[in-house]
Amino acid sequence: FPTRRSSDLLSPCASSLADLSELAADLRPLCSAELGIKYHEDGDLERSAWYLETSAKKNGGCGAGMLLYGLALRHGWVRLASCLVPVRAHLTNLSFQGCQINAELGFRYLQSAAEMVTLDLDKAAAAAGGRRATPAAQDGAKVSKNELMLALYEIGTSFRFGWGVTKDKKMVSLL
C-alpha cells in the first residue's frame, strides 16, 4: 500500500475519533471496511472515513478498504447542510465532517487496491495447484475479481478526468 511521507503523518481524515482506536484494535481490515460502509450509509462520514482508513492501512490493509478509502480521498466525501455531497477543490476551505480531498493519495490507494487483489487472486490460484477450487474458494475468487474490475474502472475514471493523475486518454483506452 502507499508508503507514508512526513506530509502524510496528519491524516486527511478527521482525527477527533481517537477513542475508536481501541475498538478497532481487534477488527480485521475487512470488518473495518464493512463498518466504514455502514457509517457512510448512516451519514456519519467522519466515522466512516476513519474506519475506511483503518481498513486500508491496518495489517497491510485489504483491497476493499483501499478501494473505498481511495474513493473517499478522491471525492472528499463530506456532510454539508445535512446532505452528502462530493466537495470539489473550490469548497475545501469550508468546515466539514468526513474526509478532505486528496486526489493524488486517493489514486495511489486505488492502484494499491488493484495490486492487492491481483496478488490475492494469484495466491489463490497457486494454492489450488490446478485442482478444482472449493465452492468457498470460488466465491472468494468471484468477489476478488469484482473488486479488481471496480478498482480498474475507478483508475480509468481517474485517468479520464485527471483526478489525482494527469489526464491520459491512451491509458483510459487500455483499462
- Give CA–CA dist 71/150, Å, rounded: 11
Q: Grid coordinates 447542510 are at which residue? A: 81
Each residue's pLDDT tens digit, 40-57: 888 888 888 888 888 898
Cα three-residue angle 150-135-26, rounded to 5 degrees: 65
| pTM of the complete model | 0.72
| The C-alpha cell that represents 32 in the structure block | 473495518
- In tens, the pLDDT along 86-144 reads 444 444 444 445 678 899 999 999 999 999 999 888 888 888 777 777 777 777 778 88
Contact call for residues 55 and 65 (beta carbons, < 8 A): yes
Residue 174: pLDDT band with limits 50, 70, 90: confident
DSSP state of 102: -
pLDDT of residue 2: 43
For 38-42, the CB contacts below 8 A with 24+ separation are: 40/77
DSSP 60-75: G--HHHHHHHHHHHHH
